[in-house]
Structure 1
């Protein structure tokens, strides 16, 4: 499989589908909108009037109506409760029944979502290829077995609605009706799909010792569906690489700084167990086990190592000269995974490294992390 020093092709301002954009058409079965999916009643203040003490969400920020009938912004939702729903900040639904058990000390919420300030960075090698991303939130940890169990418990009611999980600045980037056929038909089928590459899968059919391990063996379609259900979306390749590279710091590894790029070792990332043929599921570690030493610029854990992560984009060979909030969306082609994994070599930990995979594939070394609106 290919590992490249430049990421996927991205075009400015819209989704690109080679041969023309594909419309989202047709609804041939009931679709289930996720309650608490963020955004609430939407809207952005201005001269719009309201009833005093009324509340809503605007751009994932709570707003209240003052005595004069005008909308007023409340403080931004913090990392621990990063979603605005019905005028209040809440945890994503995958953590609604979970205690703060994640992180290196076991005292952090598993759904903590940290702000990645937008900006521009260079994805080029021989020539500059600048990509700009807007502010976003990116989950601090990869999605765990415990979080995925909440999704499975509601399945198939947790199927996404048409248009769910869209990037707010990329048209037609939400769920498409044509993708329904790529989801497991019921809960039993979904559970069975998580037992891939025996004995290396992290999933257990009953609650057990793997709840803090990254969920793996998920296809791109299931990863997309999970993030949409959880009030988020898959990050684009540009966003994922930008977060790992520390934006304009252009980090070689997520833990690097502009002044130095320490070579990987087991204190920074979980990787390399399969190189000598002795890999075991015990080599996969709970999310954040190398935090804070291996964290990225903005505090995200495991941007290098543990499991590869699906992104929104399809695979393409070259980057454009410029890219603003964009992604490749090409039907029926391979997609991309980023970040390296527990069974991969140290070269996969580079912030520029990715592999292409079929979106229907299930791999014990590939999981997911969700992005969210700021």
Structure 2
């Protein structure tokens, strides 16, 4: 999913451009910015090895095939998704302004859209982000405009728009952050974003050929295993897992590597560009693949996108199934969403530096 595709379908999305920059720290930060990235998010050593990457059965999406053998070196990974508390510490230390907090010019927006696209309404040029606005009735699941809306003023500080804040959600994953924002945080923390291969290897938690981070047991069997959609998406949720939107990190059991929320809660940025055909181009036994040199999405060939992994609280068996360890999604690097966050890694040689 990309914001400009949603723009084309509902005339209510945006694509912001440019790197984050320094500016006076905004006064509505509601979190005490104490502690650094290593004190707030313990890193777990993931031992290197080989694994079979890709769909574990015949129910995967086309871009999850063919399954192929990949080898990754050991690395350190955040045990949970980066939280609002951690991101606030970063913003307080640097004055960073996120993509969603900056307006965009009409020229910039039109340059990112296919030729012939109608000019946007001036309201679409304001700073803001896409917010989950579920309907109260059944809708076609191939029309994302039924549950996404552009809200001016939405950002990591105000995930649902100006009337919302993150008070009481300090330990929830930060959302409404773009790839550019995630990269900036990782650089400040002395870390980096994981490659797609590292992410899937870590998500599997040492298990082989299993659908989920916890094994093969169905998501709905036994105790709640992840923060996903319960009920009929997107209009009805039973909240049987305890949450209607994001959950505090570490709310569910970790996988075999003691990593939390490798399924559900929020999608997570990884460093790789997205190419629908990439798995067919990677040879068996490839060491530390870093993704294609150039991205390609046949649904949107004019845009370079990055892979996102892990699914979110909006995923269910009816829609998305993104909580499978092999599931892939993609979006443009400027995109921020109410169900998209990230976690960081560090190469073993750099840990502690």
Per the TM superposition, whether the score is higher than 0.5 is: yes
- Paired residues for 1:252-331 under 5 Å: 252-256=211-215, 261-265=216-220, 267-272=224-229, 275-278=233-236, 282-290=244-252, 292=253, 295-317=254-276, 318-319=278-279, 320-322=282-284, 323-328=286-291, 329-330=293-294
Q: Distance in 2 between matches of 1:243 and 1:285?
A: 21
**1:341 is matched with which residue: 312, 329, 335?**
312
Q: CA deviation at 1:235?
A: 0.1
How far apart, in 2, do the equivalents of 1:207 and 1:338 lie?
Answer: 24
Kept in 1, the 8 Å contact 2:36–2:86? The answer is no
Q: 1:139 aligns with which of 66, 75, 78?
A: 78
SS at match of 1:225: helix
- Matches of 1:305 and 1:270 in 2, distance apart? 5
Q: CA offsets per residue over residues 68-107 of structure 1, 9 Å max, x none?
A: xxxxxxxxxxxxxxxxxxxxxxxxxx9982499xxxxxxx
RMSD: 3.7
Aligned counterparts, 1:76-225, within 5 A: 97-98=34-35, 110-124=40-54, 129-156=68-95, 184=99, 189=102, 196-197=130-131, 203-204=157-158, 208-225=167-184
**In the aligned structure 2, how far is the partner of 1:155 from the partner of 1:195?**
22
Structure 1, residues 130-158: CA drift from partner, whole Å, max 9, x if none? 111000011001000111111122334x6
* In structure 2, C-alpha distance between the alignment counterparts of 1:312 and 1:325, rounded to whole Å: 12
Q: Name the CA shift for 1:359/1:287 in 2 (closer, same or farther; >3 Å).
A: same
Q: Against the structure 1 CA distance between its residues 233 and 99, is the aligned structure 2 distance closer, same or farther, given a 3 Å change threshold?
A: closer
Alpha carbons of 1:128 and 1:330: their partners in 2 closer, same or farther (altered >3 Å)? closer
Q: Which runs of 5+ in 1 are unaligned?
A: 3-29, 32-93, 101-107, 160-182
What is the deviation of 1:129?
1.3
2:331 to 350, 357, 360: 357
1:80 aligns with none
CA shift digits 1:212-238 (9 cap, x unpaired):
111011111111111111110000000
TM-score (norm 1): 0.57
Q: Deviations 1:144-186 (Å, cap 9, x if unpaired)?
A: 0111111122334x69xxxxxxxxxxxxxxxxxxxxxxx649x
Partner deviation per Cα, 1:23-65 (whole Å, 9 max, x = no partner): xxxxxxx99xxxxxxxxxxxxxxxxxxxxxxxxxxxxxxxxxx
Shift of 1:310: 0.3
- The residue that corresponds to 2:343 in the other structure is 369
Matched ranges for 1:25-36 at <5 A: none
SS in structure 2 of the partner of residue 343 of structure 1: coil
Uncovered stretches (5+) of structure 2, i.e. residues with no partner: 3-20, 23-30, 56-64, 104-125, 134-153, 159-163, 296-302, 349-353
Q: Return the offset for 1:342.
A: 0.5
CA drift at 1:357: 0.8
Q: Deviations over 1:249-302 (max 9, x none)?
A: 23310011xxxx111136100011571424698532100101x2xx22100000
**Are 1:116 and 1:298, in contact at CA under 8 Å, matched by a contact in 2?**
yes
Number of equivalences: 246
In the alignment, which of 201, 209, 212 is matched to residue 242 of structure 1? 201
TM-score when normalising by structure 2: 0.60
Question: Counterpart in 2 of 1:169?
Answer: none
Distance 1:278 1:202 in 2: 25
In the TM superposition, residue 334 of structure 1 has moved relative to its aligned partner by: 1.0
